[in-house]
Amino acid sequence: MITLSALDLSLAACLVLALAALSWRMRLGLSGQLLVAAARTVVQLLLVGLVLKALFAHVHLLWIGGISLVMLLAAGREVMARQQRRFTGGWGFGLGTGAMFVSSFAIAILTLVTIIGADPWYEPQYAVPLLGMLLGNTMNGIALALDRLTATAWQQRAVIEQRLMLGATRHEAITDIRREAMRSGMMPIINAMSVAGLVSLPGMMTGQILAGSPPVEAVKYQILIMFLISAGTGFGVTTALWLAAKRLFDERHRLRLDTLNSPRNY
């Protein structure tokens, strides 16, 4: 495997700096966010490299559980931060976090125990990357779906209230909006599966090939991961939207937009 030097990474960083400069020149308001995101990438990945090195040397379920909890909480925070309108109070954080816990953790444990069959089943070499890929993709789907649901519900509040006055239940009044939000949340993973191998070589497969694994074995693992991500995203988005749609109404089937905060610039 070819080792990358600090100079190699610096050359790649220059491309990000050039993009930030272009953003500043065009007054897009993204240059600061781009630089902060790049800095976070460097710091976070360096730290996780050190943590994984320690985990591989001292395999223990308690340590794996602690890392998994940190990953879940960070993903829940990002889901909340990327929404233009989010639920106030603990619901803003709890909806996405709970949905990811139910979907990603359940599928990761099922895969580690029944499909991969690592010994022990929480072997960090498999558990941490698998959970990370599931959480990352599920996070994107849930964030898109919740943002679409709450923004559309606010824009079409008059339509929803008219349906309620005509006798529709809260589920009937928001069914079409929830359906479109589901489509938004699932679109990225459907696109990724549709073009895998034709337009793009997915990250896990590319990494294994670069590390020297036989291409066919890398393909097998990538197919497994794509199926798991699609299932995790689908179940997570469905759970999050069901809870969010329920939160938008009270027990008397009245629309409660006071549960949402004011618009955010993100």
- Count of the separate structural domains present in the chain: 2
Percentage helix, strand, coil for the chain under 3-state DSSP, each rounded to 5: 75, 0, 20
Q: Hey, what long-range contacts does 171-174 have (CB within 8 A, 24 or more apart)?
A: 171/245, 173/253, 173/255, 174/245, 174/248, 174/249
**Does position 173 have pLDDT exceeding 70, yes or no?**
yes
**Residue 169: its pLDDT value, please?**
87
**Does position 125 have pLDDT exceeding 60, yes or no?**
yes
| Domain co-membership, 23 together with 74 | no
Closest alpha carbon to 145 in 50, 248, 239, 252: 239
Q: Could you tell me the end-to-end alpha-carbon distance of the chain, in angstroms, rounded to an integer?
A: 39
Residue 255 backbone dihedrals phi, psi, to 5 degrees: -70, 130
Do the Cβ atoms of 83 and 261 come closer than 8 Å?
no
In this predicted model, which residue has the larger pLDDT, 59 or 238? 238
Q: Which of 58, 85, 102 is the last residue of a domain?
A: 58
Tokens (6 digits) for 181: 């939000």
pLDDT, one tens digit per residue, over 187-206 is 988 988 888 877 666 777 77
Residue 266 in any domain: the answer is no
Handedness of CA 194, 137, 142, 45 (dihedral sign): negative
**Does position 163 have pLDDT exceeding 50, yes or no?**
yes
| Domain co-membership, 156 together with 243 | yes
- How far apart CA 254 and CA 248 sit, in angstroms, is 8
**Does position 171 have pLDDT exceeding 70, yes or no?**
yes
* Residue 87 DSSP SS3: strand
The range of the structural domain enclosing residue 188 comes to 60-259
Helix (H) or strand (E) holding 191, with range, is helix 170-195
What is the mean predicted confidence (pLDDT) over 121-150?
A: 89
Q: With bands split at pLDDT 50, 70 and 90, how would you rate the model's confidence at 266?
A: very low
What is the mean predicted confidence (pLDDT) over 210-238?
A: 86
| Domain co-membership, 45 together with 127 | no
167's torsion region: left (phi>0), alpha (psi -120 to 50) or beta? left
**Does position 13 have pLDDT exceeding 80, yes or no?**
yes
| Domain co-membership, 73 together with 32 | no
Closest alpha carbon to 259 in 94, 76, 75, 73: 94
Q: Say what the pTM is.
A: 0.78
b/e per residue 4-43 (b: at least 16 CB within 10 A): eeeeeeeeeeeeeeeebeebeeeeeeebeebbeeeeeeee
Q: With bands split at pLDDT 50, 70 and 90, how would you rate the model's confidence at 1?
A: low
| Domain co-membership, 68 together with 42 | no
What is the mean predicted confidence (pLDDT) over 226-230?
A: 91
Q: Which of 58, 76, 105 is the last residue of a domain?
A: 58
Q: With bands split at pLDDT 50, 70 and 90, how would you rate the model's confidence at 52?
A: confident
**Residue 214: its pLDDT value, please?**
83
Q: Which of 58, 83, 100 is the last residue of a domain?
A: 58
- Computed over every residue of the chain, the mean pLDDT equals 86
**Does position 40 have pLDDT exceeding 70, yes or no?**
yes
pLDDT, one tens digit per residue, over 92-103 is 788 889 999 988
Residue 264 in any domain: the answer is no
| Domain co-membership, 40 together with 84 | no
**Residue 30: its pLDDT value, please?**
85
**Residue 263: its pLDDT value, please?**
62
| Domain co-membership, 45 together with 164 | no
**Residue 265: its pLDDT value, please?**
47
